[in-house]
Amino acid sequence: MNTTSLTHSNVEDAYTRWAPVYDWAFALVMRPGRRASAAVINRLGGKVLDVGVGTGLELPMFGDNVRITGVDLCEPMLDIARKRVADLGLKNVDELRVMDAMNLDYADASFDVVVAPYVLTVVPDPERMLNEMARVVKPGGEMILVNHIGADSGPIALIEAWLGRRSAALGWDPQFPWSILGDWIARRPDVELLERRTLAPIGLFTMARLRLR
C-alpha cells in the first residue's frame, strides 16, 4: 500500500541532496531517539540490523557487545557512514550495504534486534517494511522504531498537513499517524508492543519497542 507521495526514486534523490548537510541539520535534533534506541540495544546485546542507517550517526553509540549491520537505500548517505566507521575505528560494524528496507536480502530470523530510527515515515510502504523487519528478527528478539508521529489535531496538525504536501521533496511524511503501526501490530499475533515512549526534550519523537513471540 502506498500511503504517501513518496517513491523510491524521490526518496533516494532527496537523501542524495540531504547527504552533504545531513549531519549538520539532523545530528542534534534527532539524537535523543538514537540514544534511547542504542541504550536498549546495548542492554540486549547481540546481532543488530540498523535499517536506514543513513550517515551512521547512531553507530558510535553501540557497545562492544553488539555486532552491527547497516543498510540504506542511498549510497551517498552510506559513504558518509563508511567514513565515520573508518575515522572512529569502529570495530563492531560488520557491513554497510545498499538495500531496500522493504526487501531485505537476509534470511528469516537472522538478527537479535532490528532497529530503524527515523525511517518508517520515509518509505512508500511502511507495512511492507514492518513485515520485512519482523521476518529477519529471531523469535524473542526486538524491533525498535523511532519516528515522528503526526498530531491528530490543532496547529501542529495544520503545519504537518502543509509539509505533507511537500513530502516527496522533503523525503519523509510529517503526517504519519500512530495507527499505521498500531493497526499492523493488531494484525500480527506474533508481535507484542513492549513500550511506546515519547522522547524528551519536547516529545517530537516516539520510540516503539516490539517483541517477536
Among 38, 41, 48, 57, binds ligand SAM (CB under 6 A): 57
| Preceding omega of 124 cis (within 30 degrees of 0) | no
Residue 105, Cβ neighbours under 10 Å: how many?
A: 9
Site membership for ligand SAM, residue 34 (CB under 6 A):
yes
Measured CA distances, 159 to 3, 10, 72, 74, 175 (Å): 19, 22, 28, 28, 9
Cα-flanking dihedrals φ and ψ of residue 138, to 5°?
A: -70, 150
CB closer to ligand SAM, 20 vs 140 = 20
C-alpha to C-alpha distance for 176 and 149, rounded to whole angstroms = 5
Alpha-carbon Rg of the chain, whole angstroms? 16
Interface mask toward ligand SAM for 109-148; x: CB under 6 A: --------xxx--xx-------------------------
Cα-flanking dihedrals φ and ψ of residue 121, to 5°?
A: -85, 0
Q: Shortest gap between Cβ of 102 and ligand SAM (angstroms)?
A: 5
Site membership for ligand SAM, residue 72 (CB under 6 A):
yes
CB closer to ligand SAM, 146 vs 212 = 146
Cβ proximity of 93 and 28 under 8 Å: no
Q: Shortest gap between Cβ of 142 and ligand SAM (angstroms)?
A: 17
Among 4, 41, 52, 141, binds ligand SAM (CB under 6 A): 52
Buried residues in 38-58 as b, exposed as e (16+ CB within 10 A): bebbeeeeebbbbbbbbbbbb
Site membership for ligand SAM, residue 41 (CB under 6 A):
no
CB closer to ligand SAM, 100 vs 160 = 100
Q: Shortest gap between Cβ of 140 and ligand SAM (angstroms)?
A: 24
Site membership for ligand SAM, residue 164 (CB under 6 A):
no
Site membership for ligand SAM, residue 184 (CB under 6 A):
no
Among 68, 74, 96, 130, binds ligand SAM (CB under 6 A): 74
Binding residue count for ligand SAM, defined by CB under 6 A? 22
Site membership for ligand SAM, residue 54 (CB under 6 A):
yes
Query: Which positions ≥6 away from 111 have C-beta within 8 Å?
Result: 46, 47, 48, 49, 69, 136, 137, 138, 141
Residue 154, Cβ neighbours under 10 Å: how many?
A: 8
Site residues, ligand SAM (CB under 6 A)? 11, 15, 26, 30, 34, 52-54, 57-58, 72-74, 77, 100-102, 117-119, 122-123
